[in-house]
Amino acid sequence: MAKELSGYGPTAGESMGGTGANLNQQGGNNNSNSGVHWGGGSGHGNNGGQGNSNSSGSTSTVMKTGESYLTPWGDVVINNDGLPVMNGIVMTEENSTLVDNPFGGVSRVLNSLISDMPSLFAESSGNNNNNTASVNTAPTNAQVSDMDKSSKVVGNVINEKQKQKNKIATQISEKQKKIEEMKKVFKHHSYHGITDLERDVNELQKKSNQLDADISKLNSYKNTLQSKIGDVNKQKEAEEKARENAEVAEHETLNEEKQAVAEAEKRLAEAKAELAKAESDVQSKQATVSRVAGELENAQKSVDVKVTGFPGWRDVQKKLQRQLEAKQAEYSAVENELKNAVSFRDGKAAEVKEAEQKLKEAQDALEKSQIKDAVDTMVGFYQYITEQYGEKYAKIAQDLAEKSKGKKIQGVDEALAAFEKYKNVLDKKFSKVDRDAIFNALESVNYDELSKNLTKISKSLKITSRVSFLYDVGSDFKNAIETGNWRPLFVTLEKSAVDVGVAKIVALMFSFIVGVPLGFWGIAIVTGIVSSYIGDDELSKLNELLGI
């Protein structure tokens, strides 16, 4: 059975420390020092009730039935039994935990909320063993997910409080209407019914003001969460981008276009951050204007409704007039502040659009440069083959590149069978000296240069390739030359191309043609491997060219 947070049960005497924390506690009768802290933000609760904690360095406040305190995840209300209730659930030692409240102090929060978004709840200074770890220990994805969930929860709390505020506004309007009607009847003397209604209006206005304050705090916290989500996502995107850049071309330095893009991205991120801050400021000032507008309306009504027939009524009227003028001045000031904030926000929005345009221009320039570089690479590649092995060989290589685009892998066995048939004839044409030359060339491969070739060739074929596969292909290629076992190489090639297709194999193998002095027969082997994935027609062309 769950333990209630009361000083009358087995949990009596539980307390917590924490300098200056404004805590809430249910005291007990059978122990002057008994009590279980419930938590609570600063500024809420009062000094009534029984039971006190003597925890060293702590400050606690006992709350009465019906009182509440604010948390971002819902109000905690003390029920008729003196127990804390959140979201309609009575909190016990088993189903709740003391955590730090962003609005000050510590608060008892339902474990169901904590388990749903654990990274948001920092461990409090209390002695409850159910506290969760700090947000700093959570993975990035968990932080973003939890902050997004919390933002939605806070939004629901804001909506609920706004509904309460709207209901109170209706009640105030109805009571003020009754006051007006009664004043018409009792023109020359006071009537207790009027004063009772005015007292009710004042109490309702206090509740409305408190709701405004709560909504303002909640909006501020929600904006903070959204800002943090943006920061974490930007950091995550930056890290992923850095990893991608390192994988594609680890040893490449940024050229002028890349530097321009990097600077444009940085400026856009700064502009968006400035816009978010300006937007938050506008929302804050809008809330202030709304609050002051309500106060101004009430001040105006107080002046408009003249109650006479009692001593000093003229002095009262003058005082109300002065209050109205002061409130008018205050409203004018906050309204001007809002206009300035909106103007500043609009300026920041324009800066974001300008930064986005500059980034697009920089990216377009970079893409054109990269495409040109890739085209130049392939032109140079075919020119190299033409110079070394003739125009017909270059034409075969070009055909292989074009036909590989969009072609899926047929399977290791089929490609290997086609290659073995081709290789068996090829073996008769080159000697051990030729094989040793190819082996030695693969032994001295410069993989840094090879990776640059792979990146450029892949770009021209409109695919992406992992540089790490180059090492596997090079190793398997060398072992195949030495042992005559080609299956491991074909398995590696299939793994590398499973997501893109034969174009990946073309990019990988062509990188070796450009970057490794394989010689005529080495090139024949490479193009034979690629041709075995394309089809018999390409192998026939290659056989004819080689005279085999």
- Which phi and psi (to 5°) does residue 19 adopt? -65, 125
Report whether pLDDT(389) > 60.
Answer: yes
pLDDT at residue 144 tops 50: yes
Which part of the chain has CATH 1.10.287? Answer: 254-387
Helix (H, G, I), strand (E, B) or coil at 276: helix
Tally Cβ neighbours within 10 Å of residue 105: 25
pLDDT digits (tens, 9 = 90+) for 119-130: 777 554 444 444
Residue 387 in this model has a pLDDT that exceeds 80: no
Output 355 or 192, whichever has higher pLDDT.
355
Report the distance separating Cα 79 and Cα 178, nearest Å.
33
Q: Which fold has domain 390-546?
A: Globin-like (1.10.490)
DSSP assignments along 134-163, one per residue: PGGGS-HHHHHHHHHHHHHHHHHHHHHHHH
Q: What is d(CA 171, CA 177) in angstroms, rounded to the nearest whole number?
A: 10
Confidence of residue 404 (pLDDT cuts 50, 70, 90): confident
Q: Are 64 and 49 in contact (CB under 8 A)?
A: yes
| Mean pLDDT confidence for 173-181 | 86
Reference 78, options 32, 25, 33, 116; nearest CA is 25
The whole-number pLDDT of residue 126 equals 45
Q: What is the pLDDT of residue 284?
A: 93
pLDDT band, residue 47 (cuts 50/70/90): very low
Q: Which range, of 128-137, 173-182, 202-211, averages the lowest pLDDT? A: 128-137
Which residues make up the CATH 2.30.30.970 domain(s) of the chain? 22-137
Alpha-carbon dihedral sign for residues 500, 502, 506, 509? positive
Can you give the pLDDT at residue 312?
A: 83
Q: How confident is the model at residue 341 (pLDDT cuts 50, 70, 90)?
A: very high
pLDDT of residue 400: 82
pLDDT in tens, 97-112: 888 888 877 888 888 8
DSSP state of 77: E
**What is the residue type of 113?**
L
Architecture of the domain delimited by 22-137? Roll (2.30)
The CA dihedral of 77, 83, 88, 89, to the nearest 10 degrees, is 140
Give the amino acid at 507. A
DSSP single-letter state for residue 446: -
pLDDT of amino acid 106: 81
Q: Exposed, middle or buried by CB within 10 Å (0-12, 13-18, 19+), for 83?
A: middle
Amino acid letter for position 483 = T
Mean pLDDT of the chain: 76
- What is the full DSSP assignment across 406-422? TPPP--HHHHHHHHHHH
- Given a cut of 50, whether residue 372 has pLDDT beyond it is yes
Per-residue pLDDT, 140: 60
- By DSSP bridging, strand 59-61 and strand 84-86 are unpaired
Higher pLDDT, 404 or 280: 280
Question: How far is the CA of 226 from the CAs of 100, 149, 248, 281, 523, in angstroms?
Answer: 20, 11, 32, 14, 57
Length of the chain: 548
Phi/psi at 39 (nearest 5 deg)?
95, 180
Q: Mean pLDDT throughout 220-241?
A: 78
Instruction: Please tell me the distance from the alpha carbon of residue 133 to that of residue 2, in angstroms, as a whole number.
Output: 24
Among 449, 423, 432, 439, residue whose Cα is nearest residue 478: 439
E-strand stretches of 201-346: none
Residue reference for tokens 């026939």? 540
- DSSP-derived secondary structure letter, 253: P
Task: Please compute the mean of the pLDDT values over residues 318-327 and round it to a whole number.
Answer: 90
Measured CA to CA, the distance from residue 291 to residue 510 in angstroms comes to 71
Cβ(461)–Cβ(506) under 8 Å? yes
**Short-list 240, 220, 79, 66, CA closest to 157:** 220
In the chain, % helix, strand, coil (3-state, to 5) comes to 65, 5, 25
Q: Mind listing the pLDDT tens digit for each residue in 457-512?
A: 777 777 776 667 788 888 898 898 888 899 999 888 888 877 778 888 888 888 88
Residues of the chain with CATH 1.10.490.30: 390-546
pLDDT tens-digit map of 233-252: 887 677 667 656 644 543 35
Query: Can you name the CATH fold of 254-387?
Result: Helix Hairpins (1.10.287)
CB 381 within 8 A of CB 454: no
List C-alpha distances in Å: 548 to 199, 315, 410, 426, 429. 108, 118, 25, 7, 8
Does the structure show a pLDDT above 50 at 28? Answer: no
Cβ atoms 118, 138 nearer than 8 A: yes
Q: What is the pLDDT of residue 190?
A: 59
Q: What percent of the chain has pLDDT over 70?
A: 77
Whole-angstrom distance, CA of residue 543 vs CA of residue 548: 5
- pLDDT over threshold 50, residue 20: no
Residues 107 and 97: beta-carbon distance below 8 Å: no
| Side chain identity at residue 26, one-letter code | Q
pTM check: above 0.85: no
**Residue 305: partners with Cβ closer than 8 Å, 6 or more residues away:** 179, 180, 183
**Distance between CA atoms of 280 and 180, rounded to whole angstroms?**
40
Which stretch, 138-142, 340-344, 427-431, 539-543, has highest mean pLDDT?
A: 340-344
pLDDT for the residue 136: 39
Q: Which helix (DSSP H) or strand (DSSP E) does residue 341 occupy? A: helix 313-389
Residue 340 CB: number of other CB atoms within 10 A? Answer: 13
